[in-house]
Amino acid sequence: MVRFLIRRLLFGALVLWLVSVSVFMLFFVAPHDPARLVAGRLASPDTLALVRHRLGLDQPIFDQYRHFLGGLLHGDLGYSYYNSEPVRSLLFGRLPVTISLALGAAVLWLVIGIGVGVRSARRPRSATDRLATVFVLTGLSTPTFLLGLMLLYVFFFRLHLAGFDWFPGGGYVPFTQDPAGWAQHLILPWLTVAIVSAATYTRLTRTSLLEVFSQDYIRTARAKGLSERRVVYRHGLRSALTPVVTQLGIDMGALLGGAIVTENVFGLPGLGQLAVQSVTTQDLPVIIGIVLLAALFIIVANIVVDACYAVLDPRVRLN
């Protein structure tokens, strides 16, 4: 297990290095002026010269990448001249918002998706199964921004007109400042992400569990007289969760990289909103930082997923 994790960590480091090379080639070697993008369109010639010198653009290309990679290894993601703040400070200031959104939504979509998927698989072709199919199709076909706007209209606008201010229309309150206000501001964004994602997890859980139910060891467990609940949750669900965990790793990596649509609909100052602002203002250092941070999250999430396979399914062997 330790050797497997070491191999996966080395492979993840290789992937992250390839991402850094691709980002460097795209932004610093492509036929445009990186100093102009970093300093802004209204920067003076003196400012452009200073930015070129700080970025090392007056040096050979290999020296430029060496300085770029050295800064990354020391946690230096550059400086945002548009925000007059280091990129690392900008990202770390927005990261708690995105983490709060991702973790809360993940708990909801796992509870909803796995719960509905298990009930659907236990009673195939029943009314429950048909309702689950409707839920899956509705969730997969509903855009995130549309669901978010609908929730805002019903639970914020209409309730506000009726005199009930239960759900804020936007903003964020830190957990350390007010835990109740933190949850109150995030409940609608959590539901927006969770309902759309839960449809995928319902479909994965149902399909995988039906396949597991056809295995010999499930028939043996039932023949031994075990209760149906124990057969489903103790023997079947554990093996059926492998594709669910795989999807969870992908979704968590993508969400931690920035839930762009949800954060902009609800006005959450997270990485997704920062990404949109940075692209609009052509804030190159922040864009590079967000890309590298998103890649890191996805790589770490996939390593964790691979390590969980052996725990969930004893048939998996890590050679």
- Same domain for 100 and 63, yes or no, is no
Render pLDDT for 51-72 as a digit per residue (tens, 0 to 9). Answer: 777 766 677 778 778 877 887 8
- Same domain for 34 and 130, yes or no, is no
Reported as a pLDDT band with limits 50, 70 and 90, residue 184 is: confident
- CB-based contacts of 71, cutoff 8 Å, min separation 6: 77, 78
Render pLDDT for 26-55 as a digit per residue (tens, 0 to 9). Answer: 776 665 666 766 666 666 777 777 777 776
- Same domain for 188 and 289, yes or no, is yes
Give the chain's domain count. 2
- Same domain for 220 and 278, yes or no, is yes
The residue range of the domain holding 45 is: 2-76
- Same domain for 98 and 68, yes or no, is no
- Cβ atoms 101, 268 nearer than 8 A: yes
Residue 102 pLDDT > 60, yes or no?
Answer: yes
Decide which of 76, 105, 132 is a domain's last residue: 76
- Cβ atoms 123, 131 nearer than 8 A: no
- Cβ atoms 247, 204 nearer than 8 A: yes
Count, in order, helices (H) and strands (E) of the chain.
16, 2
- Same domain for 49 and 109, yes or no, is no
Decide which of 76, 106, 130 is a domain's last residue: 76
> Is the entire prediction scored with pTM above 0.85?
no
Look at residue 89 and tell me if it is in a domain: no
The encoded tokens of residue 37 equal 């993008």
- CB-based contacts of 28, cutoff 8 Å, min separation 6: 34, 55, 57, 64, 65, 68
Decide which of 46, 76, 106 is a domain's last residue: 76
- Cβ atoms 74, 166 nearer than 8 A: no
Q: What is the mean pLDDT of residues 75-96?
A: 83
Q: Could you give the CA distance from residue 52 to residue 35 in angstroms, rounded to a whole number?
A: 6
The pLDDT of residue 37 is: 65
Residue 158 pLDDT > 70, yes or no?
Answer: yes
Look at residue 87 and tell me if it is in a domain: no
Q: Could you give the CA distance from residue 39 to residue 47 in angstroms, rounded to a whole number?
A: 7
- Same domain for 52 and 186, yes or no, is no
Whole-number Cα distances in Å, 277 to 119, 159, 170, 264, 294: 43, 31, 17, 10, 16
- Same domain for 205 and 292, yes or no, is yes
Look at residue 206 and tell me if it is in a domain: yes
**What's the mean per-residue pLDDT of the chain?**
81
Residue 195 pLDDT > 70, yes or no?
Answer: yes
Look at residue 204 and tell me if it is in a domain: yes
**CATH number of 104's domain:** 1.10.3720.10
Residue 3 pLDDT > 80, yes or no?
Answer: no
- Same domain for 27 and 139, yes or no, is no
The pLDDT of residue 30 is: 62
Whole-number Cα distances in Å, 247 to 52, 146, 201, 310: 42, 23, 8, 16
